[in-house]
Amino acid sequence: MIKPLTIICAFFLLLTDSVYAQNNSDAYPLDPLTAAEIKKVVQILKDSKTTTGKDIFNIINLKEPPKAEVLNYKPGTSFRREAFTSFYDYSKNGVTEAVVDLNAGKVISTKQIPNVIGMGLEADTLANNIVRKDKAWVAALQKRGISIDSVTHRSIFTGDMGIGPVGHREQLVIARRKHNNIDIEGLIAYTDFTTGKILKIVDETGSFDAAVDLNYFNKDSVKEVFNGLKPLIITQPEGHSFEIKGHEITWKNWKIRYGVDNREGLVIYDVRFVDKGKERSVMYRGSMPEMVVPYGSPDLFQASYNFFDAGEYRLGQGTARSLSPGGDAPENAEYMPAILHRENGEPFQVDRAVAIFEEYGGTLWRHGAVSRRATNLAIKYYTMIENYDYGFTWRFKEDGTIDVDVELTGIVEVKGVHRANEMDMPDKNDYSYNGHAFGTLVHPHVEAINHQHFFVFRLDMDIDGANNNAVMEMNTKLVPPGSQNPYGNAFYVDHTKFKTELEAQRSINYETARNWHIMNNNGMNALGQHIGYMLMPGLQAKTFVPEGSLLRKKAGFLNHQFWVTQYHEDEVYPAGKYPASNKVYDGLPEWTAKNRAINNNDIVIWYVAGITHIVRPEEWPIMPTHHMGFSLMPFGFFSSNPTMGITNPDFMKKQFQDVVKKQPDSAIDHQ
């Protein structure tokens, strides 16, 4: 018998959804789920018995409508509103996926995926309970003179390095001393969370396990010992120049939508440039759906310490952080909230999840004393995963350029070692190779481990439309010295257009200034050039992880730094949906093996930005922010400089006039 209260709750949820979809004039098919919608998803799943009540929600996200429907959407008309959810039950094998129709209030599909284990969960803290009950583990600690009550435990996924049954939620567990955050080196437990038992204990004698003071960062003990600089306050007395309606931002010639995804974090949608009154599409969707951080020490725990941060731990739910006004973003920033969810399906709000602000961009252009000031629009988001903090800023410029900037800060991963001085040779019980340590000493007995960061960006570029797009590689080459290059100074640009996905698997080459021209085959500017955008690489690194290794099987996207795929709505996560699972492979290498046509098509660009981090002592106990990224720059999209008609603000004109009055005419060129 259905209780009256259940009927009332269901009716209320249906009403809240219809209010959003029909009465919200700013509503758009790509808007993230609201709190009411997330609650409704959970209620529908419970009412339909799709969930058991023991399920833990990995993801509750908007299921984006088909691209064609979004592109054809007219404001004020109805649109489909569906949610995708993935949930896990420790007592079951695999993960369940479900799609919920929010307009109809029903489950429209379910799928049980065996032998996958979903993502990291708060419930995985049960590691402490499992190992504390194991007599062999307690004895191994006691052998080192360590009480079980003096440590906490942390765990990481084993991936293909595990020894448990495929599909079991297996993790490596390591003990960490309370109060000083140092791991007990050389003692690791293969632990099966599905059965709640330790499978094997790895106990290496001689490893460093002393209770040293490693000067670990503690925000509560930060001392202010330096005088601050004189105030530098960014203000806009007349207010900002952008307008926000719902999730749409309009600024100068740009129209942009954004959202915060529980898995991917910040997502940029429907980027358009208004050129002489005409809206021109640039990018349908841009995000960073996966990243991996390989560590370079050969011990078991560090070899397993290859976080797929988006696919295993998510860049939204549980890791999104409110931005600090004046620190993470300037004083003129506008902060926007994001609705995410907890593992029980309950929604919560991050108040300052996204910062939107205008910033001084230096000189836009200059000749003589005639110059124009550049102003950029920035959209910024921060996430914290374990010890690292990552900032992502999409920067839109007046000349049509899009810069993507990644900030790396936080606390580097460290381990205890016997040596107390960098001049000391590595101890025989510490990992080393021919006298070389696998990290930098940042404090006596504290070694920061060599590692790399790789960020995979998915760029669904729609240059003046979703179809007829193509990619041409540009390599600058020297004309061989001889009759055609008598002075040895001539060089040219060689253009190669890709026809298939396998052809477009490419890597960075700074020697040829390699760039990629993403263009519209049918569109030409006034000079007869293909309209397009050029992807210009920034700081880069090549992976040290060899082909055939376990990690390369999972992170096949490391094979190349540039990929092109034919658009497919299900191809979003370059290491697959569930990279934490063992013996499960999916992603870019599998998709591109189809070798689909990418010339004159709807295509997606994948760019793998990498950095090798050899830690400096100046980066301990907290790392000053390091920047990396890439640019999307107009190349033939316009026929000339689109900022030629721009004027400087009135206050700058007055400043210039004051300078002119104070200096003789010969010293300055008048505007």
Please identify every residue annotated as catalytic.
309, 388
Q: Mind giving me the DSSP string for 594-607?
A: T--B-TTB-EEEEE
- C-alpha to C-alpha distance for 147 and 139, rounded to whole angstroms: 9
Q: Are 595 and 502 in contact (CB under 8 A)?
A: yes
- C-alpha to C-alpha distance for 10 and 83, rounded to whole angstroms: 17
Q: Token pair for residue 599?
A: 């010339």
Rounded to 5°, the CA angle 52-55-61 comes to 115
- At CB < 8 A and 24+ separation, what contacts does 475-478 make? 475/509, 475/512, 475/513, 475/514, 476/512, 476/513, 477/512
Find tokens 């295993």 and name the residue: 312
Find tokens 């990418």 and name the residue: 598
- C-alpha to C-alpha distance for 418 and 47, rounded to whole angstroms: 58
Rounded to an integer, what is the distance from CA 540 to the centroid of its chain? 16
- C-alpha to C-alpha distance for 575 and 34, rounded to whole angstroms: 28
Find tokens 């731990």 and name the residue: 313
Q: Mind giving me the DSSP string for 87-144?
A: EE-TTSSSEEEEEEETTTTEEEEEEEETT---S--GGGGGHHHHHHT-HHHHHHHHHT
Could you tell me which residues are beta bridge partners of residue 61? 84
- C-alpha to C-alpha distance for 294 and 306, rounded to whole angstroms: 5
Q: Per residue, what are the HEC states of 551-566?
A: HHHHCHHHHCCEEEEE
Q: Token pair for residue 211?
A: 């209770």
Among 544, 578, 574, 553, residue whose Cα is nearest residue 562: 574
Helix axes 35-47, 4-18, angle to 10 degrees: 140
- C-alpha to C-alpha distance for 131 and 146, rounded to whole angstroms: 14
- C-alpha to C-alpha distance for 382 and 367, rounded to whole angstroms: 38
Among 178, 179, 183, 623, residue whose Cα is nearest residue 412: 623
Measured CA distances, 451 to 265, 396, 430, 438 (Å):
23, 31, 18, 9
Q: Token pair for residue 607?
A: 């760019």
- C-alpha to C-alpha distance for 65 and 272, rounded to whole angstroms: 19
Q: Token pair for residue 94?
A: 């695999």
**Between β-strands 183-192 and 170-177, what pairing exists: parallel, antiparallel or unpaired?**
antiparallel
DSSP element (H, E) containing 280? strand 278-293
Q: Token pair for residue 445?
A: 């007995």
